[in-house]
Amino acid sequence: MFNLAIIVGLYSYTIFFLGLMQILHREIVVSITIIFVTIAIFYFRQNIKIILRDSKKEWISIQKNKISLFVFTTLVALISVNLIGALGPELAFDALWYHLTLPKLYLVNHAMYHIPGGLLYYSDMPKLGELLYVGALTFGNEIWAKVLHWLFSILTLIVIYKLARKFYTQTISLLAVLIFYSSLVIAWESTTAYIDLIRTFFEVLALLAFVHWWQLEKRRWLILSAIMVGLSISSKLLALGSLGIFSLLIIWKALDSRLPTSPKLRWTSRGNDNISALMSSLFKNIFIYWGISLIIPLPWFLFAFFNTGNPFYPIFSDVFAGLHTKVFDIALLNPITFIGTLWNVFTHANDPLSPIYILFLPLLIWYFRKADIYIKILYAYFIIALGLWYITSQIEGSRLLVPYVPALSILCAGVIAGVCKEKHLFGVYFYRLLIGLVLFTGLITAGYRLVANSKYIPVIIGTQSKQEFLIKNLNFSFGDFYDVDGYFAKNISQNDRVLLFGFHNLYYIDFPYIHSSWLNEGDSFNYIAIQDAELPEQYTSWKLIYENEITHVKLFKESKK
């Protein structure tokens, strides 16, 4: 998995540098994609037999255990239901806003470039995931990108399973995977062209490598963990917080394994030597971790700096400040506020996490004292991540907590394993009850998402056209656009250019345009289109030639004098 992650990162950066060289043509992207896929197949050809052999053994073992079989079947049902959503046209707001729009603009203009203004201000931020979508859009439409994100959800499940198997049995590890995948926010994200599950894939690999390093004390695992964090930062700038999380864990590791236990020893020359060795090793490990993690997204930081003068643009900029005025509030330090926020995000969020997490909380607290050091790593990892999310990202809801939820999912499954070890009769019944709750939650999520995704079935099987589907399901009052009657396709040629006012989600625009947010002096255009907006005063002499009540769009053309 680590090698696959590195290949994915190299592919994304190849697209990045092709864009910087302004040679991001479809033919080149197709060729590069085929080359990378061939390299991946050639590289992993030796492992295919091993993977198939191990998978066969796992499947035979699953078939022999009724609980494992039920859990696995529920997982397959969830995966299949989410695939239905991934195979339909994109409707999600952020995907139509920038996750897909930016790759499409890069392909149209054959280049990576800075987009000024207050609409696509994410154009300078790290976008490893969006550059993967450049390849997806080259081979088809947005459905390719959605399926790619769905595939990363499957890869994430595999890594969670591998991490859980380091501590628990097959059944418990499958339960950890199901707990994670039963969250409605994760099931929904699996059907969109967002990038959170791409980041989650890298984050879980970083945690897996870190646990390997803690156990084996081989620095190559620490380096691998840092590489994964670097790829995560390259996917989403907020992943910089993971540097702080792992740095604190590195410090804990140093203190736990090397600090002398006898106070008297600290005052001896031998004690001083031990402390010096401790500090030297600690600083070296943190320096290595930070250096590797930051050098990977460095091209993105340079890209933003050369374009804006700010390597973390739009953070610390006027654009971002105007949109996110509430960065930190002293009230966040109030314990009541903290508890209330966690309760809301786990029970009433618009993008809810699995209720299993809140139901298992008392047991998680109870079994902490019984956990070994490696399980406590997961506890510490998630607690630090939760605090970081609470301070920096909780205003955005639970979606930004998703990359750290795999650790909590494994801990919840571990609670079930702990109950299973109880010798009294109550422990057996309680063990079955907890498994029943996890299975019930998974089935409810699968059923709910099946109902939600059923709207895609007619367009997938061809009984409904894409045009009919989008007219029915896009939210034209909330920034979406689609050429519902084909007017723009028939009347706007490739030699025309339309100036847009009020438009927000631009992905489905297929005619030449320039948005008012990045309009420069001297830019030419011969049409103006407005959506839920007023025509600027300087253009009131332009003649209205088209109006659509469904999309709330009006099109103007300059009057001839």
Rounded to a whole number, what is the largest CA-CA distance in the chain?
A: 95
Residue 520: closest CA among 147, 116, 126, 209: 116
For 148, 344, 455, the CA distances from 169, given in Å and listed in that order, are 30, 33, 38
Amino acid type, 197: L
Question: Could you tell me how far CA 504 lies from the centroid of its own chain?
Answer: 22
Residues 20, 112 contacting (CB under 8 angstroms): yes
In a structure prediction context, what are the per-residue pLDDT tens digits for the chain, which is 561 residues long?
898 999 999 999 999 999 999 999 999 999 999 999 888 888 777 667 677 777 777 778 787 888 889 999 999 999 999 999 999 999 999 999 999 999 999 999 999 999 998 899 889 999 999 999 999 999 989 999 999 999 999 999 999 999 999 999 999 999 999 999 999 999 999 999 999 999 999 999 999 999 999 988 899 999 999 999 999 999 999 999 999 999 999 999 888 754 444 344 444 445 566 677 777 788 899 999 999 999 999 999 999 999 989 998 888 777 665 554 445 556 566 677 777 777 777 766 777 888 899 999 989 998 888 888 889 999 999 999 988 888 876 666 678 889 999 999 999 999 998 887 665 556 678 888 999 999 999 999 999 999 999 999 999 999 999 999 999 999 998 889 999 999 999 999 999 999 999 999 999 999 999 999 999 888 899 999 999 999 999 998 999 999 999 999 999 998 765
Strands 527-531 and 498-501: parallel
Report which DSSP code applies to 328: -
For 85, 96, 290, 343, 555, the CA distances from 199, given in Å and listed in that order, are 20, 19, 18, 25, 40
Q: Where are the domains positioned within the chain?
A: 2-453, 476-557
The token pair at 308 is: 């804006």
- What global pTM score does this model have? 0.91
Q: Is the four-CA dihedral 253, 255, 256, 259 of positive or negative sign? A: positive
